[in-house]
Chain A
Amino acid sequence: DGGITQSPKYLFRKEGQNVTLSCEQNLNHDAMYWYRQDPGQGLRLIYYSQIVNDFQKGDIAEGYSVSREKKESFPLTVTSAQKNPTAFYLCASSPGRDSRNSPLHFGNGTRLTVT
């Protein structure tokens, strides 16, 4: 079955450490996205990529970095510069580069806790 896989489901890190969240899709989708969700809040866009080797900052990119070396993979690194990294991180993909006709398909998320 095609889908989006995020791993791990739960991740614990000490403050000051960088951590990389994995996101892989086998849907042959062009576009991929990273969102962050905090308790009681909506999803906020961190980074997105419409094509391999290209990505754009979302609304809250500070303290994060991404790469898109392969179509299937869009890993997110949470750096020590991110002030409040503890959150639920969601990766998504969509078939086309035009969001108007392409709803997002989400992975099941990674819950990151930094202490």
Chain B
Amino acid sequence: RKEVEQDPGPFNVPEGATVAFNCTYSNSASQSFFWYRQDCRKEPKLLMSVYSSGNEDGRFTAQLNRASQYISLLIRDSKLSDSATYLCVPTGGGNKLTFGTGTQLKVEL
């Protein structure tokens, strides 16, 4: 099993829709998680940190399911500007952070 697995997508959704995608991880010792957003040909930028069961920031909600070892990202009221690739990063491997390959989201008119 890969350390981090994400559905690459793309997820094509209409503007205003709610979309969710999951990230599964193999290291049961992972204690905290990060979601990054990466625009095409740009660097990843931190979207959200998750240190407990979840986190919410405006239209974005992250939920952690430790029993099943996955973390989800929910985006409500999608905007065109949300179009990007979302990278999941579980911690727990010392100082080596392993990035998922990312899930591509395309929000359309």
Q: Which of A14-22, A69-77, A101-109 contacts B (4 or more CB under 8 A)?
A: A101-109
Judged by a CB distance under 8 angstroms, whether A114 is at the interface is: no
Kindly supply a per-residue 1/0 record for chain B positions 22-51, scoring 1 wherever the CB is within 8 Å of any chain A CB and 0 otherwise.
000000000110100000011111100101
Kindly supply a per-residue 1/0 record for chain A positions 49-64, scoring 1 wherever the CB is within 8 Å of any chain B CB and 0 otherwise.
0100000101100000
Whether B96 pairs with A108 at a CB distance below 8 angstroms is no
Judged by a CB distance under 8 angstroms, whether A83 is at the interface is: no
Whether B92 pairs with A45 at a CB distance below 8 angstroms is no
Q: B33 to chain A: closest CB distance in Å? A: 10
A42-B99, A42-B102, A43-B99 given; A106·B92 CB < 8 A: no
The interface residues of chain A lying within 8 Å CB-to-CB of B4 are 42
Whether B31 pairs with A99 at a CB distance below 8 angstroms is no
Whether A90 pairs with B87 at a CB distance below 8 angstroms is no
A50-B95, A97-B95 given; A90·B32 CB < 8 A: no
A101–B95 alpha-carbon span in the complex (Å): 10
